[in-house]
Amino acid sequence: MQGMALNGGFRILAAQTTQTVEEARSILDLAPVAADALGRTMTAAILLARLLEKHVRHQRVTLRFEGNGPLGVVIGEGTVEGHARGYVSNPRPEQENLDVSHALGDSGILTVVRGTPPEGRPYTSQVSLEGGGVAKEVSRYLVQSEQIPSAVMLGVLNRRTGVAAAGGIVVQAFPHTSDEAIALVETRIQEAPPLTTLLDRMSIEDAVLTVFDGLDYKSVDPRFNVPLSYRCSCSRERALAPLALFERKELQEMSREDGGTEVVCQFCGRKYNFSSDDLLALTAVHDA
């Protein structure tokens, strides 16, 4: 959903991502803290992708957290069509609490990639992690790299049975917005309950109305909305591509000793089996 506040001074995007995050948790077998971190990252990626031009298909935003926390690398990807996928290098860390900022780490790099594959050169930018959690790190990226006053609210509510609620809100000020209006919205967001608390009681639509109550919030054309889903873009051809980087001798050894090889997609767990003949065909490419 998308809306405006304070006489058009702010653009507000929001997404309810409960089913998408729960599917990621199930597919990747994530511990609660990993589901929380990845859910927030995928939600942010979807929202940033929806900030791109809506009429250009296949646009996507990838957020890659490489911190010194127990989760290791966390990757969330969102497309302008509303699809998402993700990856956590350590999906079940030895951490009992749900402190996402600690799980990500207090130092490292956030890499943001925007692109329109397969055409077009991706735009990549980076900011240093400061241990603030997903929402604060993405907010700093928007301010530093995009030069746009922005605020990000993210929440994931875990239950014993899985993800009970997940969602996010992005608020951006337009160039003509006054400093007084920006300060007012900043105060309202700071004083609002955590988004997870709100999502425990209400939908994302009602959460937006609660946070921006009295600030002249108006929703935009509902045709802007798109259904969200966890969808992987892997394929047999893409799984084969990394094998072409192996040396001819390595491919021959895999063909002779193992009779082929298996490639598993890190985003969805789908398995692609390549026979000895497939590997030998790659050696012919090296000889060409």
Closest CA to 271 of 232, 225, 219: 232
pLDDT over 80 at 83, yes or no = yes
> How would residue 59 be classed by pLDDT, with cut points 50, 70 and 90?
confident
Amino acid at 280: L
> How would residue 94 be classed by pLDDT, with cut points 50, 70 and 90?
confident
Q: Is 272 found in the same domain as 184?
A: no
Amino acid at 130: E
Q: How far apart are CA 205 and CA 216, in angstroms?
A: 15
pLDDT over 90 at 167, yes or no = yes
Q: Is 249 found in the same domain as 106?
A: no
Q: Is 248 found in the same domain as 197?
A: no
Q: Is 70 found in the same domain as 47?
A: yes
Q: What is the CATH number of the domain that holds 136?
A: 3.55.30.10
For the segment 30-47, the average pLDDT, to the nearest whole number, is: 96
Closest CA to 65 of 83, 82, 90: 90
> How would residue 286 be classed by pLDDT, with cut points 50, 70 and 90?
low
Helices (H), the chain: 18-28, 32-50, 100-104, 134-145, 179-191, 195-199, 204-211, 236-240, 248-253, 276-287
Q: Is 136 found in the same domain as 33?
A: yes
Into how many domains does the chain fold? 2
pLDDT over 90 at 47, yes or no = yes
pLDDT over 70 at 207, yes or no = yes
**Kind of pairing between the strands at 271-275 and 260-264:** antiparallel
The residues near 53 (Cβ < 8 Å, ≥ 6 apart) are 59, 80
Q: Structural domain of residue 136, as residue ranges? A: 2-230
pTM: 0.91
> How would residue 128 be classed by pLDDT, with cut points 50, 70 and 90?
very high
Q: Is 65 found in the same domain as 147?
A: yes
pLDDT over 70 at 120, yes or no = no
Q: Is 83 found in the same domain as 108?
A: yes
Rounded alpha-carbon distances, angstroms, from residue 58 to 20, 89, 204: 19, 26, 26
Reported as type and span, the H/E element at residue 86 is strand 83-88
Q: Which residue has the higher pLDDT, 245 or 130?
A: 130
Q: Which residue has the higher pLDDT, 256 or 99?
A: 99
Q: Is 247 found in the same domain as 212?
A: no
Q: Is 82 found in the same domain as 213?
A: yes
Q: Is 255 found in the same domain as 170?
A: no
Among the three residues 187, 214, 230, which one is the final residue of a domain in this structure?
230
For the segment 177-186, the average pLDDT, to the nearest whole number, is: 93
For the segment 4-19, the average pLDDT, to the nearest whole number, is: 94
pLDDT over 90 at 223, yes or no = no
Among the three residues 188, 207, 230, which one is the final residue of a domain in this structure?
230
Q: What is the CATH number of the domain that holds 263?
A: 3.90.1280.10
Reported as type and span, the H/E element at residue 76 is strand 73-79
> How would residue 284 be classed by pLDDT, with cut points 50, 70 and 90?
low
Q: Is 274 found in the same domain as 201?
A: no
Least confident of 72-86, 110-124, 158-172, 258-272: 110-124
Q: Is 98 found in the same domain as 170?
A: yes
End-to-end CA distance of the chain: 52
Q: How far apart are CA 78 and CA 25, in angstroms?
A: 16
Q: What confidence tens digit (pLDDT) does each residue in 232-253 have?
A: 989 998 888 888 888 888 888 8
Asked if 80 contacts 50 with a C-beta cutoff of 8 angstroms, the reply is yes
Q: How far apart are CA 271 and CA 236, in angstroms?
A: 9
Among the three residues 199, 230, 261, which one is the final residue of a domain in this structure?
230
